[in-house]
Structure 1
Amino acid sequence: MTDYTDSQAVSRLSSGPRTFFRLPYRPIRELTAEDGVHAVILGVPTDGATGYRSGARFGPEAVRSASTLGRLGSRERDLVITDLLTVVDGGDVHIVPGYHLQTLELIESSVSAVHEVGALPILVGGDHSLAIAELRAAARKHGPLSLVQLDAHRDVLDNYFGMKHFHGTVYRRAAEEGLIDPTTSIQIGMRGSVPREDLADDGLGFTVIHCEDALDIGPRELGRIVRDRVGSNPVALTFDIDFVDPSCAPGTGTPEVGGPSSAFALRLLRELDLPDIRTVSLVEISPPYDSADITAHLGVAVIFEIMTMAAAARRTKTQQDGRLHA
């Protein structure tokens, strides 16, 4: 008789309560360093700081549901994520709808708890405003980070509607607060019409590769450029889903036409091979504007590729440590 309790045989439509990739659910308040958890995926259901279309608060739910289709083996990297990393679903961060600054404090507290147990936080948003809280928590633990941002927009406005904290201001605030080092950071994929102030030199020091140039350069060379830029520094990797053309990712609040395909984006993630990622965010998935869940499924693929990158880095480190002690 077939054993239908086997994880590969059980229907992915009847696999129990929804968690990211059907991973174990472990509330972050219960985690300790002794648990040996390497990565925690957290939903951040907030969209109170968007400027056009809302709905990203439903992003974590959509990505969780779509992720039940996924498995954790990577043909390209020849590994199974859970053979190398212990990954759990930490649930959703508590937020306060309508109170953005309080929500940022709650996000920062939750992400700090993940860092304190020695794990990698992987945030699934939610709008991009969550990044300032994410980076405050990461920098407190690891010092200033190098930012690798895949996005259609730079998010370095000084203010938005007169407000200093919005999804279009996060990386100016992060630079001002010393959370990231712009001189070792890189922003890729920018395109579309921009405010007048975006046309001037902002003096922040980021390397910016606009979308047309990125498409000409290609994923493999972009990967080399990114690695050269960040060096051996701890990295904050952020993927705004509007990096991808809306023909492949319609479910987002600020779509920009003329972007990379989903295949280009996933190939770029595989080419990055960043050895020291300290925090990850996937943002701006807005399910009300999605079509047949294709944006949610792309979000799943993005998180999968980032987890395989982290798993490959751990495999390399383990092999190097083994040679040192041989």
Structure 2
Amino acid sequence: MSDQFNQPLGGNSMPRFAGPATMFRLPSQSDATGLDIAIVGVPLDIGTSNRAGTRFGPRQIRSESVLVRPYGMATRAAPFDSFQVADIGDVPLNTFNLEKSIAIIEQFYDAVVATGAKPLSLGGDHTIALPILRALAKRHGKMALVHVDAHADINDTMFGEKVAHGTIFRRALEEGLVDGHKMTQIGLRATGYSAGDFDWSREQGATVIQAEDCWYRSLAPVMDEVRQRIGPDTPTYLSFDIDGLDPSVAPGTGTPEPAGLTAAQGLEIIRGVFGTDLIGADLVEVSPPYDTTGNTSLLAANLAFEMLCSFPGCKRRD
């Protein structure tokens, strides 16, 4: 254990059902000053098109994160001995106005990025990824993207709106935030509105790996190929929609689709990002009202821990 960096409050120091209600029971602070990684909640759900409730996601993921311990036993990763990490709270959204909320999120992340901290974000619906990418692009330029999802999120409009949770990656590509040739979408599946629903991404150069191509196999070799395409020096963003996983392991989400990725495959994808120049990550679309056991939020907390372990410079213990 390092006394140089913040450490989570241990379960033998304070019962896990008590103590601070921060992510991993880490210290909290009001901004990202002095941090290597800033954990941010973005409790937005007015960009969603089906079941609401993701506004409660950050709070519930934090609650379930008490069960996450500080070392990755498979990877030997030690993120809290590697980085200064703290929970800087939630973005103060406009509950009634999506357009204003998007501007608020971008401005909030401008301040985070200006400190040099890398954001690890807890959603909220997937709309939050667009203003985060806009803020990161101002510092890093065009990014590689690893996108886990049941849906491509490349609609041109939804009910006439250009920005909602199902349009964000079309906007990100159009705005030059993401390099289409270094974009990978994993887990897309189920039904669509036309036979070509996933093809627009491919036309921009993206690699689309549908869920059927992931059935009954390890995704570690897939991620070897993803890392090779991205390279070690391209700024990379990871956007993980919990509905990319099968509803049997992640039922608490707004737009569940059958026959998705397993929890183990989700871990393989995140662990497979290690070795890229990861500059930020999000975990979105956890909807606690549909998560009666808390298992979706608990899985989300573990996935967020794995994201910490995948930032460059995370130490591996012998």
* TM-score, length-scaled by structure 1: 0.89
- Alpha-carbon distance between aligned partners in 1 of 2:17 and 2:258, rounded to the nearest angstrom: 37
| 1:18 aligned onto 2:21 | yes
Match of 1:291 in 2: 292
Match of 1:3 in 2: none
| 1:239 aligned onto 2:237 | no
Amino acid at match of 2:219: P
Match of 2:304 in 1: 303
Runs of 4+ displaced beyond 4 Å:
none
Counterpart contact for 1:95–1:107, Cα < 8 Å: yes
Q: How far off its partner does 1:214 sit?
A: 2.2
Match of 2:4 in 1: none
Match of 1:256 in 2: 257
- Alpha-carbon distance between aligned partners in 1 of 2:170 and 2:195, rounded to the nearest angstrom: 13
Match of 2:30 among 27, 30, 33: 27
Counterpart contact for 1:109–1:137, Cα < 8 Å: yes
- Alpha-carbon distance between aligned partners in 1 of 2:129 and 2:24, rounded to the nearest angstrom: 23
Match of 1:150 in 2: 148
Spell out, residue by residue over 1:8-48, the C-alpha distance to the aligned partner (whole angstroms, 9 max, x if none): 512333543300001110111xx43xx2x110000000100
Counterpart contact for 2:144–2:236, Cα < 8 Å: yes
3-state SS in 2 of match to 1:164? coil
Match of 1:138 among 136, 154, 157: 136
- Alpha-carbon distance between aligned partners in 2 of 1:239 and 1:159, rounded to the nearest angstrom: 22
Q: Pairwise CA RMSD of aligned residues?
A: 1.7
- Alpha-carbon distance between aligned partners in 1 of 2:173 and 2:199, rounded to the nearest angstrom: 15
3-state SS in 1 of match to 2:68? coil
Counterpart contact for 1:269–1:306, Cα < 8 Å: yes
Amino acid at match of 1:258: A
Counterpart contact for 2:45–2:55, Cα < 8 Å: yes
Corresponding residue pairs, total: 305
1:85-96 alignment runs, 5 A limit: 85-96=83-94
Cα pair distance change 1:314/1:80, threshold 3 Å? closer
Counterpart contact for 1:274–1:313, Cα < 8 Å: no
| 1:109 aligned onto 2:107 | yes
Match of 1:174 in 2: 172
Amino acid at match of 1:313: G
3-state SS in 1 of match to 2:199? coil
Match of 1:278 in 2: 279
* TM-score, length-scaled by structure 2: 0.91
Q: How far off its partner does 1:184 sit?
A: 1.0
- Alpha-carbon distance between aligned partners in 1 of 2:131 and 2:65, rounded to the nearest angstrom: 25
- Alpha-carbon distance between aligned partners in 2 of 1:306 and 1:66, rounded to the nearest angstrom: 16
Match of 1:123 in 2: 121
Q: How far off its partner does 1:7 sit?
A: 3.4
- Alpha-carbon distance between aligned partners in 2 of 1:261 and 1:183, rounded to the nearest angstrom: 26
- Alpha-carbon distance between aligned partners in 2 of 1:104 and 1:8, rounded to the nearest angstrom: 37
Counterpart contact for 1:12–1:69, Cα < 8 Å: no
Cα pair distance change 1:64/1:103, threshold 3 Å? same
Counterpart contact for 2:38–2:87, Cα < 8 Å: yes
- Alpha-carbon distance between aligned partners in 2 of 1:16 and 1:216, rounded to the nearest angstrom: 41
Bigger shift: 77-86 or 292-301? 77-86
Amino acid at match of 1:109: Q
Amino acid at match of 2:240: F
Match of 1:320 in 2: none
3-state SS in 2 of match to 1:64? helix
Unpaired runs of 5+ in structure 1? 1-5, 317-326
Spell out, residue by residue over 1:46-93, the C-alpha distance to the aligned partner (whole angstroms, 9 max, x if none): 100111100000000100100112111111222322111110001000
Amino acid at match of 1:282: L
Match of 1:207 in 2: 207
Q: How far off its partner does 1:196 sit?
A: 1.7
Match of 1:59 in 2: 57
- Alpha-carbon distance between aligned partners in 1 of 2:63 and 2:198, rounded to the nearest angstrom: 42
Amino acid at match of 2:246: D
Unpaired runs of 5+ in structure 2? 1-8
Amino acid at match of 1:149: H
3-state SS in 2 of match to 1:183? strand
Q: How far off its partner does 1:308 sit?
A: 1.1
Match of 1:7 in 2: 10
Amino acid at match of 1:304: F
Counterpart contact for 1:185–1:229, Cα < 8 Å: no
Match of 2:98 among 97, 100, 108: 100
3-state SS in 2 of match to 1:196? coil
Amino acid at match of 2:66: T
Identity of aligned residues (%): 39
Match of 1:47 among 45, 48, 51: 45
